[in-house]
Homo-oligomer: A and B are copies of this chain.
Amino acid sequence: MKDLKKIGFSKLTLLDDALKRIASLTTSTSLIEVETSKALDRILGENIISAIDIPPFNRSAMDGYAVRAEDTFGASLSNPKKIKKIGTIEIGEQSDLAVEPGQAIRISTGAAIPNGSDSVVKIEDTKIDKNEISFYTSVVPGKNVSKKGEDIPRGTEILKSGIKIKASHIALLSSLGFNVLKVKEKPLVSIFAVGDELIETGNPLPINKIYNSNSPMISSLVETYGGQVVRKLSLKDDKAEIKKNLLLSSTDSQIIIFTGGTSVGTKDFLPEIVHECGEVLVHGIAMRPGSPILIGSLKQSLIFCLPGTPVAAYVCFLSIVGITIRKMLGCSNLDPRIEIIAEMSQDVPVGQMGYIHFLRVKLEKKGSKVLALPVKLKGSGVISSLTQSDGIVEISEEMEGMKKGDNVLVYLYP
Contacts and interface: CB of A to CB of B under 8 A. Distances in A.
Given A207-B94, A407-B368, A413-B166, A110 B308 contact: yes
A213 B175 contact: yes
Contact of A266 (B108, B180, B202, B264): B108
Interface string A100-121: 0000001011111000000000
A152 to B, nearest CB: 6
Interface stretch (A67-75, A84-92, A348-356): A84-92
A40 B224 contact: yes
Interface stretch (A50-58, A242-250, A269-277): A50-58
Given A146-B381, A158-B384, A267 B91 contact: yes
Interface in A216-240: 216-221, 223-224, 237
A152 B384 contact: yes
Chain A interface residue bracket vs B: 35 or more
B211 A383 contact: no
B151 A379 contact: yes
B310 A175 contact: yes
A92 B210 CA distance: 8
Listed residue (A93, A173, A220) with the most chain B CB atoms within 10 angstroms of its CB: A220
Contacts of A19: none
Contact of A91 (B196, B207, B368, B383): B196
A264 B122 CA distance: 12
Interface in A168-202: 168-180, 195-198, 201-202
A314 B167 contact: yes
28 contacts: A37-B216, A55-B381, A91-B237, A92-B195, A92-B197, A93-B208, A106-B266, A110-B210, A110-B309, A112-B207, A146-B381, A159-B387, A167-B217, A167-B218, A168-B383, A168-B387, A170-B217, A171-B214, A171-B217, A171-B383, A172-B387, A174-B212, A175-B213, A175-B310, A178-B201, A338-B412, A341-B368, A341-B369
Interface of A: 36-37, 40, 52, 54-57, 61, 63, 88, 90-94, 106, 108-112, 123, 146, 151-152, 158-159, 166-180, 195-198, 201-202, 205-221, 223-224, 237, 263-267, 308-310, 314, 338, 340-341, 365, 368-370, 379, 381-384, 386-387, 407, 412-414
